[in-house]
Structure 1
């Protein structure tokens, strides 16, 4: 196991909620790697820039990268927050164009390195491609459903071509100047005449086709099916299909090189692989073990300290001591919806996600999804109370709400006026059960009484606190993302102590995202080991008490 020295040693928290000493002497911690990181936070759009380099979009990481195909080395072309690319392409003049799914902006970077917005107000902006005559087309998906023509220079307003085609995703223009692309909602690959809006089906029977590209002959399309994990070759003239390679589920996009090798991105596995269609062989280009680790949870009675990791594109079980990934429930191939927070109850796992706005309750023993509850208010932390009610932090509205067990679910506001609530941890030991909540906008940790929603400030003066967990001795462990450090807070006095600094946490905020969007998760095992997720590194770290 590779170990890193913690960048700062700890001074201890002196008093706990009972007013008694929490520790006889200030503890120190040793920082270690549980799961090593990746340059991406889920990789998406791809384009072959030249014979030796591949360009890749990193939506959650808000960056555009270049990959050296000979070495696999990854460099950043456009960093956060402007580089949040779902898909990308290179224009006739060599400019790089990419789509901002969350920001609703279309970006252009000239060969001189000048970056600017050329279209706005298109939420869910997803795929893009140039026609041979230099006209540029983009689609909305998820947060919209439309095909647009956009001026590559940004001097004219976008013009809508199609409304509601059925989620037209990664597409390309063919030799006949028709647009070829997949319709996610219909399981089809279609041909679109962008001048008339006419749609024709080329091939059907896919589960979830996410992108297409032509081969060198321009007679076949390569198609990736996210649910089946298949790379399929389609003869355009007849619609005949052949599976070229079987890959893991979660495929997002592809690019075809001049030698007909197919580069495929997988957002669930956060990797890029290259397929030789001549023999179906597959080789890794860039590999990873986690995608975008955010919320963390560990059962307080688990001696092995198995971590539940909300990895955005999957819910994973990771050994806190050995880093082994034992269980994975993946999005797209299951009904799971992009988990960003996770909490544990005796029988259930609760997930919440601001990505597509939902909460989910899973059976802890089997992993089966029992309930899915829509919530578009920037849902962050969520807890299950003893009676099965869900307590949910809405970062956009500033509320804590209770969601009952009925179908359809009823919603009751417990309290409001919070400034970007993100992390939640229960406090049920006293006579007045409550919950501690981090407020990323106000820099506070607030206790909210469950009986009536009364609020009490526990600590203030923090900068962007996100993840929060309860230490076995009663202290609160908080990821203070704005200062890139881990702090410990005495819930009785509010006194805070820095545990570690200069942490690799804290992607910058981006337009179109709720407060604390990709949260830094914190969990504490029964041994007192503190676990922290890194959004910058897509890694998982632990802080082990030094005897």
Structure 2
């Protein structure tokens, strides 16, 4: 099991004064609520034949090597070059990986040289070599195609098939045909890459996402993400047998020469090893959170239960004890990948630039009430007292209002913002408004809800993202560019540094809006501040020191 060592420390505090706050803010003691992980959601894998497993980390923008004996994780390629959805080893020992957001196919030679060998292929997903060295990749989600690519990048990619139905994690058989899942059809298919013909091998899956051969080359192991099953398929007949039951959210697999099956799970951010002989499962790398981003806490909650937008899941985490009490999982439910979360009196509001949507959930039951597509790089979203939604479009620089009624109408409240990311409501004021962090300009801006009039509250910050209101009226902001937590007096704009040298702020990725994975901030009624760490997949709290 991979663990990190963390030490409680006293966050540094600068002297500051405030005209509107009754007293200077206290010093804070930093503590771990949920310890971190080496990944931000783990995806495709490959064995290097030397006792290590290569693993791709899309949102963490890294390619990792894992020791098969100890589970120790090291980084082969770090941010921002390593944004990998799948990874493969070439015949000469080069490592190849697919940039889902960047649309780039990357190559790292054995001497450590890294470059893109194909570009402008959004949604690049799976990849595999044929026995003769020919190289194939797919687009999935943002496009739907199978391509042949020159492993040296000298020739332009050649499209083999257009719109196969989302061909996912695949492998070539001894017949030099490609075997893999057609996700939209729930099938495992055989693809002749020379003619483009597709045949069905097996069907009846809910969400097949990857398939690899066993050592006999007569059977395929298939992972069904929605059902959480590892299934053995006999290629000659299409007969299926469930080998092991696993948590939902499975993403990929690789089969060792001893037929041990390594399975990645993006929701749980872990890798498990299945022995198909008896169905037993052990963990190679484990985690508690996947990609903690936005965070919220109800102001009336004495227990300070946190809602964590964990990208591949929505989780409830005890702010005091770190216990995860409830998880709504992506892929096996209708929930899209949440990157931001806010709470209303009856509803939870999620937003996702990853899958371009805003969702409204019933707070009591978790039922999804509305899903609203938005392709403008949505970041923060919150619900106003009348049910209207307020949404920050980081890509367009707009703050928009979405009607509570269906069909939803949209009104632009403010525009010209520079990468709006975080929102904090100020609806109890005489002139109700909302505070907005602008990651590009470094401003915290107040926008009046009645007419969109703007006032700069603070400026000179570097990449401010998450924002929350303290019970005494102060604003707590994650200043990601300086890796610190600051407190802002909304009347004077004066800021006070509460904590420095924080592990926050992965580099922004091509294909996602300003703010990328937002660093979330929430404040409980006790005055404890909660902060997510995208770099460590961890959750921290800052407790006031008496």
C-alpha distance in structure 2 between counterparts of 1:373 and 1:493, whole Å? 37
After TM superposition, list the pairs within 5 Å mapping 1:469-488 onto structure 2.
Answer: 469-488=468-487
Aligned match of 1:213: 212
8 Å contact kept, 2:20–2:491: no
C-alpha distance in structure 1 between counterparts of 2:80 and 2:245, whole Å? 35
Q: CA deviation at 1:431?
A: 1.2
Aligned match of 2:78: 79
Q: CA deviation at 1:22?
A: 2.8
Q: CA deviation at 1:326?
A: 0.4
C-alpha distance in structure 2 between counterparts of 1:156 and 1:239, whole Å? 37
C-alpha distance in structure 2 between counterparts of 1:322 and 1:48, whole Å? 38
C-alpha distance in structure 2 between counterparts of 1:185 and 1:400, whole Å? 35
C-alpha distance in structure 1 between counterparts of 2:147 and 2:410, whole Å? 38
SS in 2 for 1:502: coil
Aligned match of 1:151: 150
8 Å contact kept, 2:444–2:458: yes
Aligned match of 1:365: 364
C-alpha distance in structure 2 between counterparts of 1:200 and 1:53, whole Å? 34
After TM superposition, list the pairs within 5 Å mapping 1:96-495 onto structure 2.
Answer: 96-495=95-494
Using the TM superposition, name which of 45-54 and 145-154 deviates more: 45-54
Aligned match of 1:530: 529
Q: CA deviation at 1:491?
A: 0.3
C-alpha distance in structure 2 between counterparts of 1:265 and 1:510, whole Å? 23
Q: Does 1:6 align with 2:9?
A: yes
C-alpha distance in structure 2 between counterparts of 1:441 and 1:453, whole Å? 20
C-alpha distance in structure 2 between counterparts of 1:59 and 1:224, whole Å? 19
SS in 1 for 2:153: coil
C-alpha distance in structure 2 between counterparts of 1:13 and 1:488, whole Å? 10
* Structure 1 residue ranges (4+ consecutive) displaced by more than 6 angstroms after TM superposition: none
After TM superposition, list the pairs within 5 Å mapping 1:31-42 onto structure 2.
Answer: 31-42=30-41
8 Å contact kept, 2:230–2:245: yes
Q: Cα deviation per residue 1:499-521 (whole Å; 9 max; x = unaligned)?
A: 00000000011222210010000
C-alpha distance in structure 1 between counterparts of 2:484 and 2:195, whole Å? 56
C-alpha distance in structure 2 between counterparts of 1:99 and 1:275, whole Å? 26
Q: CA deviation at 1:4?
A: 3.0
Task: Return the TM-score normalized by structure 2.
Answer: 0.98
Q: CA deviation at 1:474?
A: 0.3
8 Å contact kept, 1:13–1:22: no
SS in 2 for 1:155: coil
8 Å contact kept, 2:21–2:474: no
8 Å contact kept, 1:13–1:475: no
C-alpha distance in structure 2 between counterparts of 1:371 and 1:116, whole Å? 42
C-alpha distance in structure 1 between counterparts of 2:316 and 2:183, whole Å? 29
C-alpha distance in structure 2 between counterparts of 1:440 and 1:347, whole Å? 30
SS in 2 for 1:50: coil
8 Å contact kept, 1:224–1:230: yes
C-alpha distance in structure 1 between counterparts of 2:545 and 2:284, whole Å? 39
Q: CA deviation at 1:12?
A: 6.0
Using the TM superposition, name which of 292-301 and 406-415 deviates more: 406-415
SS in 2 for 1:482: helix
C-alpha distance in structure 1 between counterparts of 2:495 and 2:119, whole Å? 43
8 Å contact kept, 2:11–2:29: no
How many pairs does the alignment contain?
543
8 Å contact kept, 1:12–1:26: no
C-alpha distance in structure 1 between counterparts of 2:227 and 2:435, whole Å? 42
C-alpha distance in structure 2 between counterparts of 1:195 and 1:406, whole Å? 52
C-alpha distance in structure 2 between counterparts of 1:418 and 1:21, whole Å? 28
SS in 2 for 1:201: strand
8 Å contact kept, 1:403–1:411: yes
8 Å contact kept, 1:12–1:27: no
C-alpha distance in structure 1 between counterparts of 2:282 and 2:353, whole Å? 34
C-alpha distance in structure 1 between counterparts of 2:99 and 2:319, whole Å? 35
CA RMSD of aligned residues (A): 1.2
8 Å contact kept, 1:443–1:465: yes
SS in 2 for 1:185: helix
Aligned match of 2:22: 22
Q: Does 1:89 align with 2:92?
A: no
Q: Cα deviation per residue 1:40-88 (whole Å; 9 max; x = unaligned)?
A: 0000001111251100000000000000011110000000000000001
Q: Cα deviation per residue 1:96-143 (whole Å; 9 max; x = unaligned)?
A: 000000000000000111000000000000000011111110000000
Change (3 A) 1:97 1:304: same
SS in 1 for 2:9: coil
C-alpha distance in structure 2 between counterparts of 1:544 and 1:510, whole Å? 32
Q: CA deviation at 1:27?
A: 1.1
C-alpha distance in structure 2 between counterparts of 1:258 and 1:112, whole Å? 27
C-alpha distance in structure 2 between counterparts of 1:183 and 1:406, whole Å? 37
Change (3 A) 1:22 1:3: farther
Aligned match of 1:500: 499
Change (3 A) 1:26 1:331: closer
C-alpha distance in structure 2 between counterparts of 1:198 and 1:408, whole Å? 42
Q: Cα deviation per residue 1:319-368 (whole Å; 9 max; x = unaligned)?
A: 00000000000000000000000000000000000001000000000000
Q: Cα deviation per residue 1:375-434 (whole Å; 9 max; x = unaligned)?
A: 010000001011111000000000000111233311110010000000000012221100
